[in-house]
Amino acid sequence: MTSVTTNNLIDGKQTAEDIKVEIAAEVATLKAEGKKVPHLAAILVGHDGGSETYVRNKVLACERVGFQSTLLRYEDDITETALLAKVAELNHDPEIDGFIVQLPLPAHINPEKVIEAIRPEKDVDGFHPMNIGRMVAGLPALLPATPSGIVELLSRQGIKTSGKHAVVIGRSNIVGTPVSILLAKNLDTANCTVTLCHSRTENLAEICRTADIVVAAIGRPEFVTADMVRPGAVVIDVGTTRVPDATKKSGYTLKGDVNFAEVAPLASAITPVPGGVGPMTIAMLLLNTLRAAKGEIYPKASA
Ligand code: GUN
């Protein structure tokens, strides 16, 4: 981390911790009532360093709140057919309340096909077209974890969103597109005017400078520079790129999509990397798993 003095940091780690405490209390109640504790399963294919870390953190978070967790690991030569068969197994396993397939998958596996194979009621990543469609329509849905984590973070930090101009940079299915939809919803925690920018956007810097809230989700380290940010804007950094760094024991530094050293002194509030959006994603995944276990969105077949 660069030596910038900031009293405007948005502490995603602490906010996620608060949510986990709330979830743990609900799990304790379920246990006291003699009910089954929520059970999250994660499928991890291959050995991508970033994915290994994410999945490990997801499993640890389950333990932290009293969930059961199962990690299913496969080599990166698993066939698409075999992976789809594992998904079908989890779909039909009454012990498993929700599961995720960590992305990215090896090139020979079609991620859309895998996501569509997950039963929407167990899709705690909120990636299935049924959950995306219900979210767009304003129906109860399992919401994608990073976008809902961003909205929750803004809300719990007391950052006013109603009527504000949010500029989202990046149109991925996982973050950019869904967060632009959520921020525009007629909700107390949203109600933004949203501009979704991407690789073909003309005058990107100019558009960003009109933002009250910038959400950077392009996966390009330090892409957002000082000239792109209006003084006083709120800056949410979704990027987590591993950049080689020989001075680190791990051999890399985690870089966000925002040039923190330049932008932090300008912003009224900014999320750090790490410790900003990342922990919120995990907290919202746990919340989705709790909702799935309780049959809150889709009633349980046996309930
Ligand atoms: N890869 C990067 N972010 C995510 C996520 O939120 N869920 C899954 N399954 N894979 C990811």
Q: Are 20 and 283 in contact (CB under 8 A)?
A: yes
Indicate whether 5 pLDDT > 70. no
- Closest Cα to atom 1 of ligand 1: 103
CA distances to 20, 66, 107, 125, 234 from 203, in Å: 41, 48, 33, 33, 20
In the chain, where the domains are located: 145-277
262 vs 14: CA distance, rounded Å: 24
Ligand 1 site, residue 240, Cβ cutoff 6 A: no
Known catalytic residues are 58, 102, 125
121-167 confidence digits (pLDDT tens):
999 999 999 999 999 999 999 999 999 999 999 999 999 999 999 99
Q: Are 73 and 44 in contact (CB under 8 A)?
A: yes
Indicate whether 301 pLDDT > 90. no
Q: Are 233 and 214 in contact (CB under 8 A)?
A: yes
234 phi, psi to nearest 5 deg = -95, 135
Q: What percent of the chain has pLDDT over 70?
A: 97
Using alpha carbons, select from 210, 229, 240 the residue that is nearest to residue 270.
229
Whether omega for the bond prior to residue 272 falls within 30 degrees of 0, making it cis, is: no
Q: Are 258 and 224 in contact (CB under 8 A)?
A: yes
Categorize the per-residue pLDDT at 303 as very low, low, confident or very high, splitting at 50, 70 and 90.
Answer: very low
Architecture field, domain 145-277: 3-Layer(aba) Sandwich (3.40)
Q: What residue type is 86 in one-letter code?
A: K
Mutate to test the pocket of ligand 1, among 54, 58, 124, 148 (most ligand atoms within 8 A of CB): 54
Q: Rounded mean pLDDT of the chain?
A: 96
42-100 confidence digits (pLDDT tens):
999 999 999 999 999 999 999 999 999 999 999 999 999 999 999 999 999 999 999 99
Does 170 belong to an annotated binding site? Answer: yes
Q: What percent of the chain has pLDDT over 90?
A: 96
Q: What is the pTM of this model?
A: 0.96
Ligand 1 site, residue 136, Cβ cutoff 6 A: no
Do β-strands 68-74 and 39-45 pair in parallel, antiparallel, or remain unpaired? parallel
